[in-house]
Amino acid sequence: MEKGKRATIRDVSNIAKVSVATVSRFLNSSGYVDGSTAEQIRKAIQQTNYRVNKSAKFLKTQRSNQIMLIEPDIGNPYYAEMFKTLQHLAGERGYSVLLYDSNAEAKLELQALELMEEIGVDGLIYCSIQNSEQVLERLMTLHRPIVVSQHYDQLHFDTLHSIGGRGIYLAAKHLIELGHRKIAYVGGPETSTVNKRRKAGCIAALGEAGLTLEKDLCFEMDFTMDAGYKAGMYVSSFPFIPTAICCANDIIAMGVMQALREKGLQVPRDISLTGEDNIGFARLSRPGLTTINNSGGEFARRAMDLLFSRISGEYDGPPRDVVCPRELIVRESTCAPRA
Amino acid sequence: MEKGKRATIRDVSNIAKVSVATVSRFLNSSGYVDGSTAEQIRKAIQQTNYRVNKSAKFLKTQRSNQIMLIEPDIGNPYYAEMFKTLQHLAGERGYSVLLYDSNAEAKLELQALELMEEIGVDGLIYCSIQNSEQVLERLMTLHRPIVVSQHYDQLHFDTLHSIGGRGIYLAAKHLIELGHRKIAYVGGPETSTVNKRRKAGCIAALGEAGLTLEKDLCFEMDFTMDAGYKAGMYVSSFPFIPTAICCANDIIAMGVMQALREKGLQVPRDISLTGEDNIGFARLSRPGLTTINNSGGEFARRAMDLLFSRISGEYDGPPRDVVCPRELIVRESTCAPRA
DNA sequence: ATCCTATGTGGTAACGTTTACATAAAACAA
DNA sequence: TTGTTTTATGTAAACGTTACCACATAGGAT
């Protein structure tokens, strides 16, 4: 073995005085290898500091033992938790996770898919807040297991809509049951499918109570704290402010809360506030934010199950549509409106 | 080409009626290829939906065009920003970034290094808040460009200590200049090198003013919001509370702020508060947090420069030690103490 | 006419694995 | 004994690239 160069299986086999095939069998526990031989090989590996070359292995086996996660913003604690859990679970099965942050841009999503093909990952978990036709088409040409975080009427892949309208529906319903009638909605970009669904959830809850979402109480901007802050500043300058605000996620709600506080409005006395995602900051904020438990970790677990049942070949049927259950977490940011 | 299988360079060459060598030259712009031939190849690629197989390419070239980022907590916005910037910059040079979240555990860091060798990444950016001898040793056996986020007295790798004691020093100095004399420190785990440096920075500033860090005003727990919250609850129950608290990072400060608020103490009127990192939440909190600008993006940019100068072979000298400049950002969470 | 250089193309040996397939000894059954 | 199964090992052909080498043609310069 040359100095400075990486040891190969051949180096090991030479030192252990066996064939490469035997070393390979030893490494993969695939086939017979004698105890004393194994000991020789172990020594040789130790001595050479040998590590398998994954690329060569993949080339032969066509299994990369990698999965890819595409998500729009790793700065969002929801996705950070998802990634961490995913990495952990994948690790247990000998897989690693390739994270691609799409910044919510379709162009970058497409780039990620290119990369994925070139690398030959075994599966994909695709989370997006928009809905690019082009991406969808590309996804279909990928002949690999895929889990998508959105529901499609015509199912092509396994879907897991942890991000649907159900959560906001529950939150809005909670507000209505508390007695609120004038409720605002602060969501993400109008074009975002996630936003559409969440808004629809809000409207549905209002509808059941014979209420409507007033046009000037519906803010569709961005899934960020900044956007929430702006919406909060805006709405609190109205002559007749709503008694409650239903936000499409927690960080928007944090922004809104900030703005209200600056305007001298108290949550929940003057105005009730709800979020969705149950991120750490929501729990520790003051008042604690009433929100929807939408755990990135829980999503990761279910997505992993779906993905691996396909990768392992255990399941090979039609696309499945799994709904991530959700529950309302009532904290101090909501109460009955003042009479 | 078989149906359902991935197209190879051979499929392309067959359809375009040229040799694989020519196709390879075309793909890599390495060598002559006639205009009309190029057109044929282009068509064939289109038709077969061909994508290069990175593993095979790597096997031959020994370049993976991947770099790895190891960091302790992607849930921390500082690291999230670092990753995003890194992915962006790397993408511009045709590289992709493999993120490994170590959860601040040495065991996982070692796993990451194993993976890195097996995959054969071209470079590593290693961020850690501890200092495992074992990891350090392992790093030295890796014959690849490495950038480390800590300063070592004996330099073995390029280092970039964006995370040093300088920031806290500036913050503490700021507090002292405002007139504070009784200052508390809330940091991370005692064993963490980062914590040690930051604490040292705090002590240094105090020392210059002839002050010391009182033992019962020094809290070393964790770099989390929860820990900050606990420390805040604790310190505010003292009979003589300090007039200022110097936190080792922003999320600790957020936790402290929460606790103080619950205890009825006003920031900064009753107590001044500083953080470090300048994360988004710090800017939007109320009052805005006085902090140290320690941008993950800036770190990423510098780390990338260091790493690529080595990967490209442009630089091959002794290890370099780069200091990330830092600046105090004064917001509303600090003011002079009440007389 | 001859030589040189620039242009264009193909053949093929690696790169480091895995995995039939072949071979052989040992263990066991009849 | 003989035949069968189990255990143990080696040989060599892929996997999809790249890059070195050889070769061929064309156009210019001498």
* pLDDT, position A163: 60
Stretch 191-250 of chain A: residues touching chain B, C-beta under 8 Å: 225-226, 229
Q: Are B112 and B122 in contact (CB under 8 A)?
A: no
Top residue of A1, A49, A54, A57 to mutate, by most chain B CBs within 10 Å, is A54
Q: What percent of chain A has pLDDT over 90?
A: 78
Q: Which residue has the tokens 């040998």?
A: A50
Burial class (CB in 10 A: 0-12, 13-18, 19+), B69: buried
Integer Rg of chain A from CA: 26
Q: Which residue has the tokens 């049942």?
A: A309
* pLDDT, position B42: 97
Q: Identify the band that residue B3 occupies on the pLDDT scale cut at 50, 70 and 90.
A: low
* pLDDT, position B154: 76
Q: Assess whether pLDDT exceeds 80 at residue B153.
A: no
A313 sits within 7 Å of strand D by its CB: no
* pLDDT, position A4: 65
Structure tokens at B209: 């003013």
The rounded distance, in Å, linking the Cα atoms of B272 and B175 is 8
CA angle B220, B221, B223 (to 5 degrees): 105
Digit-coded pLDDT (tens) for B15-30 = 999 999 999 999 999 9
Digit-coded pLDDT (tens) for B253-301 = 999 998 998 888 988 999 999 999 888 777 767 788 999 988 889 999 9
Alpha-carbon distances of A20 from A9, A13, A294, B62, B117, rounded to whole Å: 6, 5, 50, 21, 20
A54 sits within 7 Å of strand C by its CB: no
Measure A6 CA to nearest chain B CA, in Å. 9
* pLDDT, position A164: 67
* pLDDT, position B162: 64
Element at B70 (helix H, strand E): strand B66-71
Q: Assess whether pLDDT exceeds 50 at residue B1.
A: no
The whole-number Å distance from A38's CA to D12's C1' is: 23
Amino acid (1-letter code) at residue A196: K
Mean pLDDT over the full length of chain A: 92
Q: Which of A218, A270, A277, A237 is nearest to A253 (CA)?
A: A277
Q: Nearest residue (Cα to C1') for D9?
A: A22
The rounded distance, in Å, linking the Cα atoms of B130 and B190 is 10
- Mapping DSSP onto H, E and C, the string for B131-154 reads CCHHHHHHHHHCCCCEEECCCCCC
The whole-number Å distance from A252's CA to D1's C1' is: 87
Q: Identify the band that residue A1 occupies on the pLDDT scale cut at 50, 70 and 90.
A: very low
The whole-number Å distance from A10's CA to D12's C1' is: 14
Write out chain B residues lying below 8 Å of A229, CB-based. 284
Digit-coded pLDDT (tens) for A112-169 = 999 999 999 999 999 998 878 899 999 998 889 999 998 777 778 999 986 668 899 9
DSSP-assigned beta bridge partners for residue A181? none
Least CA distance to B49: which residue of chain A? A141
Stretch 40-79 of chain A: residues touching chain B, C-beta under 8 Å: 49, 51-56, 58-59, 64, 74-75, 77
The rounded distance, in Å, linking the Cα atoms of B255 and B282 is 11
* pLDDT, position A268: 92
The whole-number Å distance from B35's CA to D27's C1' is: 18
Q: Identify the band that residue B169 occupies on the pLDDT scale cut at 50, 70 and 90.
A: very high
The more confidently predicted of residues B237 and B279 is: B237
Q: Assess whether pLDDT exceeds 80 at residue B200.
A: yes
Q: State the pTM of this model.
A: 0.85
The rounded distance, in Å, linking the Cα atoms of B154 and A77 is 37
Nucleotide nearest to B59 (CA to C1'): C15
Measure B121 CA to nearest chain A CA, in Å. 11
Q: Identify the band that residue A279 occupies on the pLDDT scale cut at 50, 70 and 90.
A: confident
Note whether A56 contacts B52, CB cutoff 8 Å. Answer: no
Q: Hey, what's the torsion of the CAs at A188, A193, A198, A203, to 10 degrees?
A: 100
The rounded distance, in Å, linking the Cα atoms of A166 and A197 is 8
Alpha-carbon distances of A261 from A47, A235, A236, B268, B310, rounded to whole Å: 65, 13, 10, 16, 50
Q: Are B64 and B122 in contact (CB under 8 A)?
A: yes
Burial class (CB in 10 A: 0-12, 13-18, 19+), A199: buried
Note whether A81 contacts B75, CB cutoff 8 Å. Answer: yes
DSSP-assigned beta bridge partners for residue A319? none
Q: Where are the alpha helices (DSSP H) in chain B?
A: 9-16, 20-28, 35-48, 54-61, 77-92, 106-119, 133-141, 166-177, 193-208, 225-235, 250-262, 280-284, 296-311
CB-closest option in B101, B114, B280 to A83: B101
CA angle B31, B32, B36 (to 5 degrees): 140
Top residue of B284, B285, B331, B332 to mutate, by most chain A CBs within 10 Å, is B284
- Flag the least confident range among A30-44, A205-219, B3-17, B167-181: B3-17
Q: Which of B135, B71, B138, B77 is nearest to B103 (CA)?
A: B71
Digit-coded pLDDT (tens) for B98-121 = 999 999 999 999 999 999 999 999
The whole-number Å distance from A31's CA to D4's C1' is: 20
The rounded distance, in Å, linking the Cα atoms of A86 and A304 is 7
Digit-coded pLDDT (tens) for A80-99 = 999 999 999 999 999 999 99
Stretch 247-306 of chain A: residues touching chain B, C-beta under 8 Å: 254-255, 258, 261-262, 280-281, 284-286
Q: Identify the band that residue B58 occupies on the pLDDT scale cut at 50, 70 and 90.
A: very high
Mean pLDDT over the full length of chain B: 92
Chain C bases near protein Cβ (<7 Å): 7-12, 14-20
Amino acid (1-letter code) at residue B112: A
Query: Which residues have a Cβ under 8 Å from the Cβ of A73 and sit 6 or more positions away?
Result: A79, A101, A103, A104, A223
Nucleotide nearest to A19 (CA to C1'): D10
Digit-coded pLDDT (tens) for B307-335 = 999 999 999 999 999 988 888 999 999 99
Note whether A64 contacts B80, CB cutoff 8 Å. Answer: no
A20 sits within 7 Å of strand D by its CB: yes
* pLDDT, position B303: 96
Digit-coded pLDDT (tens) for A208-261 = 999 999 999 999 999 988 899 999 999 999 988 999 999 999 999 999 998 998
Query: Which residues have a Cβ under 8 Å from the Cβ of B7 and sit 6 or more positions away?
Result: B1, B48, B49, B50, B51
